[in-house]
Amino acid sequence: MPVYSEKVMDHFQNPRNVGEIANADGIGELGNPTCGDIMKIYIKVKDNVIEDVKFKTFGCGAAVATSSMVTELVKGKTLEEAEKISNAAVAEALDGLPPVKMHCSNLAADALHLAIEDYKSVQAGKGHIAKVETCDHDHEGIEGLEHA
Protein backbone atom coordinates (compact mmCIF):
# COMPACT_ATOMS: atom_id res chain seq x y z
CA MET A 1 0.00 0.00 0.00
CA PRO A 2 1.40 3.43 -0.90
CA VAL A 3 2.57 5.71 1.89
CA TYR A 4 0.93 9.14 1.87
CA SER A 5 2.07 12.44 3.38
CA GLU A 6 0.12 14.11 6.17
CA LYS A 7 -1.09 16.75 3.69
CA VAL A 8 -2.47 14.09 1.34
CA MET A 9 -4.29 12.43 4.22
CA ASP A 10 -5.65 15.78 5.45
CA HIS A 11 -7.01 16.75 2.02
CA PHE A 12 -8.48 13.26 1.58
CA GLN A 13 -10.16 13.18 4.99
CA ASN A 14 -11.12 16.89 4.99
CA PRO A 15 -11.44 17.89 1.33
CA ARG A 16 -11.84 21.59 0.62
CA ASN A 17 -14.26 23.09 -1.93
CA VAL A 18 -16.32 19.96 -2.58
CA GLY A 19 -19.48 20.37 -4.62
CA GLU A 20 -20.56 22.10 -7.77
CA ILE A 21 -21.20 25.68 -8.78
CA ALA A 22 -24.60 26.41 -10.29
CA ASN A 23 -24.13 28.42 -13.49
CA ALA A 24 -20.37 27.84 -13.43
CA ASP A 25 -18.38 29.96 -15.87
CA GLY A 26 -16.21 26.99 -16.76
CA ILE A 27 -16.40 23.24 -16.22
CA GLY A 28 -13.63 20.72 -16.79
CA GLU A 29 -14.25 17.00 -16.59
CA LEU A 30 -11.53 14.44 -17.01
CA GLY A 31 -11.48 10.69 -16.64
CA ASN A 32 -8.78 8.08 -16.62
CA PRO A 33 -10.06 4.77 -18.03
CA THR A 34 -6.99 2.93 -16.73
CA CYS A 35 -7.75 3.51 -13.05
CA GLY A 36 -11.35 4.74 -13.11
CA ASP A 37 -10.75 8.18 -11.53
CA ILE A 38 -13.10 10.92 -12.75
CA MET A 39 -12.76 14.60 -11.78
CA LYS A 40 -15.06 17.50 -12.48
CA ILE A 41 -13.94 21.04 -11.65
CA TYR A 42 -16.20 24.10 -11.70
CA ILE A 43 -14.91 27.69 -11.78
CA LYS A 44 -16.54 31.07 -11.27
CA VAL A 45 -14.54 33.93 -12.78
CA LYS A 46 -14.83 37.65 -12.12
CA ASP A 47 -12.50 40.25 -13.66
CA ASN A 48 -10.15 37.50 -14.90
CA VAL A 49 -9.81 36.05 -11.35
CA ILE A 50 -11.07 32.66 -10.19
CA GLU A 51 -13.26 33.81 -7.34
CA ASP A 52 -14.76 30.37 -6.61
CA VAL A 53 -13.84 26.81 -7.49
CA LYS A 54 -15.44 23.48 -6.56
CA PHE A 55 -14.87 19.87 -7.46
CA LYS A 56 -16.50 16.48 -7.55
CA THR A 57 -14.23 13.47 -7.78
CA PHE A 58 -14.88 9.77 -8.06
CA GLY A 59 -11.70 7.92 -7.32
CA CYS A 60 -9.01 6.97 -4.88
CA GLY A 61 -7.82 9.00 -1.89
CA ALA A 62 -5.00 10.57 -3.91
CA ALA A 63 -7.50 11.70 -6.58
CA VAL A 64 -9.65 13.37 -3.92
CA ALA A 65 -6.61 14.97 -2.26
CA THR A 66 -5.21 16.35 -5.54
CA SER A 67 -8.63 17.74 -6.50
CA SER A 68 -8.91 19.45 -3.13
CA MET A 69 -5.38 20.85 -3.35
CA VAL A 70 -5.77 22.19 -6.89
CA THR A 71 -8.87 24.14 -5.80
CA GLU A 72 -6.90 25.65 -2.92
CA LEU A 73 -4.03 26.57 -5.25
CA VAL A 74 -6.22 28.45 -7.76
CA LYS A 75 -8.78 30.28 -5.65
CA GLY A 76 -8.10 34.00 -6.00
CA LYS A 77 -5.60 33.53 -8.84
CA THR A 78 -5.85 35.05 -12.30
CA LEU A 79 -6.61 32.72 -15.17
CA GLU A 80 -3.02 33.11 -16.38
CA GLU A 81 -1.65 32.14 -12.96
CA ALA A 82 -4.02 29.17 -12.76
CA GLU A 83 -3.01 27.96 -16.22
CA LYS A 84 0.60 27.72 -15.01
CA ILE A 85 -0.27 25.27 -12.24
CA SER A 86 1.36 22.03 -13.28
CA ASN A 87 0.86 18.43 -12.31
CA ALA A 88 4.17 18.55 -10.45
CA ALA A 89 3.09 21.68 -8.54
CA VAL A 90 -0.03 19.90 -7.26
CA ALA A 91 1.99 16.90 -6.07
CA GLU A 92 4.63 19.18 -4.53
CA ALA A 93 1.97 21.16 -2.64
CA LEU A 94 0.86 17.86 -1.08
CA ASP A 95 4.45 17.06 -0.02
CA GLY A 96 4.65 14.46 -2.74
CA LEU A 97 2.68 11.45 -3.92
CA PRO A 98 3.78 7.83 -4.23
CA PRO A 99 5.02 7.15 -7.79
CA VAL A 100 2.05 4.88 -8.56
CA LYS A 101 -0.29 7.77 -7.68
CA MET A 102 1.36 10.58 -9.67
CA HIS A 103 -1.22 10.12 -12.42
CA CYS A 104 -3.82 11.52 -9.99
CA SER A 105 -2.08 14.90 -9.94
CA ASN A 106 -2.16 14.86 -13.74
CA LEU A 107 -5.94 14.57 -13.61
CA ALA A 108 -6.36 17.45 -11.14
CA ALA A 109 -4.28 20.01 -13.04
CA ASP A 110 -5.63 18.90 -16.40
CA ALA A 111 -9.28 19.10 -15.26
CA LEU A 112 -8.56 22.65 -14.06
CA HIS A 113 -7.04 23.55 -17.43
CA LEU A 114 -10.13 22.12 -19.18
CA ALA A 115 -12.38 24.30 -16.99
CA ILE A 116 -10.37 27.36 -18.03
CA GLU A 117 -10.56 26.29 -21.69
CA ASP A 118 -14.33 25.88 -21.28
CA TYR A 119 -14.61 29.37 -19.75
CA LYS A 120 -12.66 30.87 -22.65
CA SER A 121 -14.91 29.06 -25.14
CA VAL A 122 -17.99 30.59 -23.50
CA GLN A 123 -16.36 34.05 -23.49
CA ALA A 124 -15.59 33.68 -27.19
CA GLY A 125 -19.28 33.03 -27.84
CA LYS A 126 -18.80 29.36 -28.69
CA GLY A 127 -20.65 28.00 -25.64
CA HIS A 128 -19.60 25.33 -23.18
CA ILE A 129 -17.40 22.51 -24.38
CA ALA A 130 -19.80 19.61 -23.88
CA LYS A 131 -17.40 16.71 -23.61
CA VAL A 132 -15.54 14.65 -21.10
CA GLU A 133 -11.86 14.41 -21.84
CA THR A 134 -9.93 11.20 -21.32
CA CYS A 135 -6.52 11.36 -19.73
CA ASP A 136 -4.03 10.47 -22.43
CA HIS A 137 -0.85 10.75 -20.40
CA ASP A 138 1.48 7.88 -21.04
CA HIS A 139 2.70 8.15 -17.43
CA GLU A 140 6.30 7.68 -18.49
CA GLY A 141 8.66 7.07 -15.65
CA ILE A 142 5.91 5.77 -13.40
CA GLU A 143 6.78 2.24 -12.43
CA GLY A 144 3.96 -0.18 -11.69
CA LEU A 145 1.06 2.09 -12.61
CA GLU A 146 -1.76 0.12 -11.16
CA HIS A 147 -4.70 1.42 -9.21
CA ALA A 148 -4.15 0.50 -5.57
Residue 140 in domain:
no
pLDDT, position 145: 32
Q: Which helix (H) or strand (E) holds 52?
A: strand 49-58
**Residue 10: domain span:** 6-134
Asked which of 27-36, 56-65, 74-83, 125-134 is least confident by mean pLDDT, the reply is 125-134
Residue 1 in domain:
no
Residue 45's DSSP bridge partners are 50
pLDDT band at 127 (very low <50, low <70, confident <90, very high): confident
Give the residue numbers annotated as catalytic, written as ranges. 35, 104
Whole-angstrom CA distances from 9 to 52, 67, 69, 81, 109 are 23, 13, 11, 26, 19
**Cα R_g (the chain), whole angstroms:** 14
The whole-model pTM stands at 0.84
**How many domains are contained in the chain?**
1
